[in-house]
Amino acid sequence: MKEFTISMALVDYIPVILFLLGTNLFAKDFKHAMSKLTYCLFRIGTLMVFIAGAIKATYKLTYALGLGDFIWMSNQFFSNQAFGFLLAGIGLTIAAVKYKKNRAYALIPTMGLVGIMIIGLGAMDASLAYISSKMKKPSALICFIVSFFLSLAMGYLSTKNFDSAAMNWIAQFVNICGQLLLFVGCKILHKAGLKDY
């Protein structure tokens, strides 16, 4: 039996919302530097990640409320998040390396779901760090690097027993910290004038 509580389920929405806020803010500010294709890839990818997280949080809430064990809501998470990060990573990497007339292109190989997620998330965070560096905002760069490693830790934790309340709370804390740093980094770039950069 899973040890989901209502408070745990509600807390699960926090990193989902922070991710949405951070990526929306970044997309709004950096849209001028993205082609329609890269913008769509980034937005579709981040939307997939957001929806996957929202469905997973809703799964925990419905379970905690005793409404049922809709396992598909949990099972969809890993696949949708992996491919969402991959799309967002590809879109942002192409936009970032082409930005300011840089002619380098990134090739991202197809791997298993874990590899796809790491590559997509890594590409996304590396691109955010690259943009931070170009804007001379080391605090944002550090936020994105630490956020990436916290996301990797979250990936590791997701391989553990998530039926346990303790593991869920640990994972929630790690995930909230990672997404909060993503949001803070995007906010720093926003305040630094990313929209006009």
**For residues 167 and 196, what is the distance between their CA atoms, to the nearest angstrom?**
43
Q: Are 32 and 195 in contact (CB under 8 A)?
A: yes
pLDDT band at 136 (very low <50, low <70, confident <90, very high): very high
Question: pLDDT tens, 95-119?
Answer: 776 655 544 333 333 335 567 778 8
Query: What does the block give as tokens for 187?
Result: 């906010």
Q: Are 23 and 51 in contact (CB under 8 A)?
A: no
- Report which of 174, 147, 149, 146 is spatially closest to residue 160, judged by C-alpha positions: 174
Question: pLDDT tens, 47-58?
Answer: 999 999 999 999
**For residues 181 and 137, what is the distance between their CA atoms, to the nearest angstrom?**
14
**For residues 53 and 35, what is the distance between their CA atoms, to the nearest angstrom?**
27
